[in-house]
Amino acid sequence: MSRPRIVIVGAGFAGYRTARTLSRLTRHQADITLLNPTDYFLYLPLLPQVAAGILEPRRVSVSLSGTLPHVRLVLGEADGIDLDGRTVHYTGPEGGEGTLAYDRLVLAAGSVNKLLPIPGVAEHAHGFRGLPEALYLRDHVTRQVELAAAADDRAERAARCTFVVVGAGYTGTEVAAHGAMYTDAQVRRHPMRTGMRPRWMLLDVAPRVMPEMDERLSRTAERVLRQRGVDVRMGTSVKEATHDGVVLTDGSTVDTRTLVWCVGVRPDPLVESLGLPMERGRLLVDPHLQVPGRPELFACGDVAAVPDLNQPGQYTPMTAQHAWRHGKVCAHNVVASLGRGQRRAYRHRDMGFVVDLGGAKAAANPLGLPMSGPAAGAVTRGYHLAAMPGNRVRVAADWLLDAVLPRQAVQLGLVRSWSVPLESSSPEVARVPGRPEQSGKDAGTAGTAGKHADGDEGKKQPGGEPAKGQPGGEPGRNQPGGEPGKNQPGGEPAKNQPGGEPAERGPDASAGSRSHGERAKRSQSGSPRASGKPRRAVEAAGPRSARGGSGKPGKSSRASGTGSAGKRPTAPSGPSRSAGQPADPGPEPPAHQPPPGPDIAPGPVRRTDGRAVEGDS
């Protein structure tokens, strides 16, 4: 008798827990495959500390192959599921395609950024859902403080030192709390920055900070924020975003170069293409996490609408606490469907919440006991160490070093603005130049907020850098809000120099534009692809809800599907460089090399002048 094949899509809180539990329960009597775009499980609750320079990125990244030794890891993003043929189609990190056959399928694809139809947000804001976005935010905030210190104009200095965070849920509150401490430390330790006053703003349409928590804890968090100088404005949000600032719903204008979007998340749109019953973008399942009428199909985490047996008629919220527990129950029920053990219905008990506000401050209510101050800080960090599936010693060591040593505020330059667009349906993977064009199914991921004014999404280029100085692109060099000029102190190396960027339009650029035009034309069709693989449906931006998703187990906001393998990055929404030319899609590799994927640099490109460009060795 052949061994049953179990495929798990996504390695977030739900998918990772399912794979780990299945590996133990099956005792090597089943083939378990985990499909995920990255080779790590991301512990999202500590991501704000990565952006604030407290933790190194690898501390919150738990190796999948190292902690799941009996699970086969396949790097890729699911883009089609054939329910009748029981196959999952995916695209690998270097553009190659593959198919996985299954006897049991677990969908744990997680969630993506939720956009609202607010002008300019998709072009000028950045989310906070993955490591690339956290690294970009740390570099960007550091750069703005350094540029402000060198600016002679007082208005420009104030704008660069103003940081606006939209969304006062768990993520937004922690980003603002840690960010204020980070910038204050930068200014305090540099004698040339005397007189600079970093300003952080936290906006939300909700009546109070973190409305999901107990009101006493909400007041505690707001008090800590205000003590650190954070301008907390409830009942206020962004009406329009521009390169130079934001217009608020109360009519005021704030000059800023930084807009962090922490409004919330929505289920990964992969599940919409299945044509099965849905509940507000989530796949309907029974209390055993099984899809009715499909005994081989299970779903858990943010993509699953799981009935709440403690509150009849309700569904469990999109929190990491639920996703982590979903994974364990789902694994037991998958094994039961193979003839071993009994099925379990999902029931839960609220364990409380913890919110890290930086330093020794936190707000927590473990087991319903409200706490604040240093005691809450100790409970919060102890909880994180206990909840992490790995790297505990390294995290504790970083916390100890941060307590006794100053933080290193330097720009690494690893992630650019156009590499982490807000409308990306795969925030855990940074975009790189030259990435092969994706199918049309991602063309509308941003909803109305991410489209061009004329609605022509086919003009977006694959992996290309938005036009400099244009709406949606990076600011012009040497302009207010822009990066330093080439070959200037703190700037990037000049084009065509060692370590520089490739030429704007190399010999292969026209060919790349033509091939993209054909692909974009094909992607306009809303029907499934010719191969029979369904095109992923895209949910239009909905009303704001409480922050949900893979936050810390115990938080009601962060998405549980960090490793959402069902997501594929969309093309950048920036306009073309000129009226007659499309944006530069980056250098294309020669014919004898495979197209570069999202995690590798472009291959060598031969120039007509005989000189080497980036990627040549």
What is the dihedral angle through the alpha carbons of 300, 17, 127, 54, rounded to the nearest 10 degrees?
Answer: 160
Task: Pick the closest to residue 469 from 362, 570, 364, 577 (CA basis).
Answer: 577
Q: Which two tokens stand for residue 272?
A: 């919409």
- Range from 146-150, 369-373, 555-559 carrying the lowest mean pLDDT: 555-559
Q: Rounded to whole angstroms, how far apart are CA atoms 286 and 289?
A: 5
Q: Rounded to whole angstroms, how far apart are CA atoms 195 and 149?
A: 10
Question: Tens digits of per-residue pLDDT, 226-253?
Answer: 999 999 999 999 999 999 999 999 999 9
Per the CB < 8 A criterion, the answer to whether 255 and 207 are in contact is no
Q: Rounded to whole angstroms, how far apart are CA atoms 153 and 150?
A: 9
Q: Beta 265-267 vs 111-113: how paired, if at all?
A: antiparallel
Question: Tens digits of per-residue pLDDT, 475-516?
Answer: 444 444 444 444 444 444 444 444 444 444 443 433 344 344
Task: Pick the closest to residue 590 from 606, 614, 601 (CA basis).
Answer: 606
Those residues whose C-beta lies under 8 Å from the C-beta of residue 477, and which sit 6 or more positions away, are 468, 483, 484, 485, 486, 491
Residue with tokens 């040497």: 478
Per the CB < 8 A criterion, the answer to whether 127 and 115 are in contact is no
Q: Which two tokens stand for residue 222?
A: 């707001």
Q: Rounded to whole angstroms, how far apart are CA atoms 607 and 502?
A: 10
Question: Tens digits of per-residue pLDDT, 590-600?
Answer: 444 444 444 33
| Higher per-residue pLDDT: 608 or 375 | 375
Q: What is the mean pLDDT of the chain?
A: 76
pLDDT at 1 (0 to 100): 54
Cβ-based neighbour number of residue 159 at 10 Å: 22
pLDDT at 380 (0 to 100): 93
* Type of residue found at 472: G
Region of 352 on the Ramachandran plot (φ > 0 left; ψ -120 to 50 alpha; else beta): left
What is the dihedral angle through the alpha carbons of 532, 538, 539, 545, rounded to the nearest 10 degrees?
Answer: 120
Q: Rounded to whole angstroms, how far apart are CA atoms 79 and 565?
A: 9
Q: Give the DSSP letter string of 307-350.
A: B-TTSTT-B--SBHHHHHHHHHHHHHHHHHHTTSS---------
pLDDT at residue 115 tops 80: yes
pLDDT at 425 (0 to 100): 67
pLDDT at residue 520 tops 90: no
- Range from 96-110, 232-246, 362-376 carrying the lowest mean pLDDT: 362-376
Q: Rounded to whole angstroms, how far apart are CA atoms 326 and 329?
A: 5
**How many percent of the chain have pLDDT more than 90?**
49
* Type of residue found at 280: R
Mean local confidence (pLDDT), 166-192: 90
pLDDT at residue 131 tops 80: yes
Which of 190-194, 209-213, 227-231, 469-473 has the highest mean predicted lDDT (pLDDT)?
Answer: 227-231
Q: Beta 258-261 vs 97-101: how paired, if at all?
A: unpaired
Q: Rounded to whole angstroms, how far apart are CA atoms 334 and 289?
A: 9
Which of 66-75, 148-157, 342-351, 471-480 has the highest mean predicted lDDT (pLDDT)?
Answer: 66-75
Cβ-based neighbour number of residue 479 at 10 Å: 12
Question: Tens digits of per-residue pLDDT, 377-421?
Answer: 999 999 999 999 999 999 999 999 999 988 888 888 888 888 888
